[in-house]
Amino acid sequence: MSKLKAVIVGAGRMAGTIDDECVDYPAMILPFSHAAGYTAVDDVDLVAFADLDETKAQALASRWGAPRAYGDYRQMIETEKPDIVSIATPCTAHAEIVIFAAEHGARGIYCEKGLACSLAEADAMRETVHRTGVKFNMGTLRRWHPGMIKARELVAAGEIGQLRSVITYGSSSMLHSNSHYIDGLLYLSGDPEVDWVQGTVLNADFDPAADRCDTDLSGIGTVMLSGGVYGYLLNTGLVAEFEITGSEGAIRARNNLLHWDLRKLEPTGHRSIAEFNVRQFPYYERISPTVNLIRDLAHAIETDGETRGGIEIAHRNTEIAFAVIESHRRDGARVTPPLDNRNFWMDSR
């Protein structure tokens, strides 16, 4: 089978240099950047970069051995006719590039998070992805982290009984950071629909009447998932931790998924009191989430199957983010997606 051709739009950190920031960080399973990921996957060839600043595209092309560099992503896509388009630009450009790539023959898109700066943009991306049939994954990488995959398997197998809640620790900017935590709580719960969202914006200067915002707002919230699981987006000072609690046990991911505990609810022998005792979390192989995401996308292209992520889940993620803000606007009322207000636009870089 011939190799899939990949190109990358945006030639900054996530495109090709972020691994340099993480070499001494044990929580990070490298490779991390898009370019490092493609280089590690056998059935994909990375052929070009594009950036508004063509010198950045040239620098990454030469670092990663891609033969060509462009100053205009449209020209790159029209010339290269890639199978996969990776989008590692700021969120402000995601919608335009996803739509262009899908409408110009891409078979797979790996788009960085947050998905979009407004629900209207997210709607247009979803419509285009469905209409063109392009396979899609958003770069909320914890979905492809082997520890998270193992945790979801344990939950699905009933190891902690009936799932009751997923707490995410690390909440801050809704699109840039919280997209990771929202995706984690959806993934660990089996990607259900959302019944309602209740939230609070933490930015003191947020003007609830504005229809644009030049800051990616920070928020905390409760997400009631269909099926009765509570998701909590917390802001406690802990970074990238998850607590998954069921009727018979719990799973705790600490220190950005480096450490994992499985806990079982067991009787103490004292009246009806039970306690959560720590057990060994099962072994998992430390395979890079970026590599897993790319393999998942390539597999979906080659088999005409579904990706592990997909546009529906990325869209639901964005709906939750904006619902936190809408709930704040309505003094903490429960908000049921889809929201009426599709046009509120928020910057995110």
Contacting positions for ligand NAD (CB under 6 A): 9-15, 18, 50-53, 56, 73, 88-91, 93, 112-113, 139, 141, 176
Q: What angle do CA 20, 24, 25 make, to 5 degrees?
A: 95
For the bound state, the minimum distance from the C-beta of residue 164 to ligand NAD, rounded and expressed in Å, comes to 28
Helix ranges, 65-172 (H)? 73-80, 94-103, 119-132, 146-156
CB nearer to ligand NAD: pick between 11 and 225: 11
Using CB positions, name the residue nearest to ligand NAD.
12
- The residue (of 59 and 234) whose beta carbon lies closer to ligand NAD is 59
Say how far residue 33 (Cα) sits from the centre of its chain: 14
Minimum distance of ligand NAD from residue 151's CB (angstroms): 19
Minimal distance, residue 182 CB to ligand NAD, in Å? 13
Q: How far is the CB of 304 from ligand NAD (least distance, A)?
A: 26
CB of 97 to ligand NAD, least distance (A): 6
149/225 with CB nearer ligand NAD: 149
User: 143 or 263: whose CB is closer to ligand NAD?
Assistant: 143
In one letter, which amino acid is 70?
Answer: Y
Please say which residue, 160 or 240, places its beta carbon nearer to ligand NAD: 240
Residue tagged 């929580």 (tokens): 27
| Token pair for 93 | 């450009």
| Nearer Cβ to ligand NAD (52/238) | 52
Min dist CB 9 to ligand NAD, Å, is: 5
CA–CA separation, 127 vs 38, rounded Å?
27
Identify whether the C-beta of residue 328 lies closer than 8 Å to the C-beta of residue 221: no
Range 280-287 contact pairs with CB under 8 angstroms and sequence separation of 24 or more: 281/147, 281/150, 281/251, 282/150, 282/154, 284/146, 284/147, 284/149, 284/150, 285/146, 286/29, 286/146, 287/29, 287/146
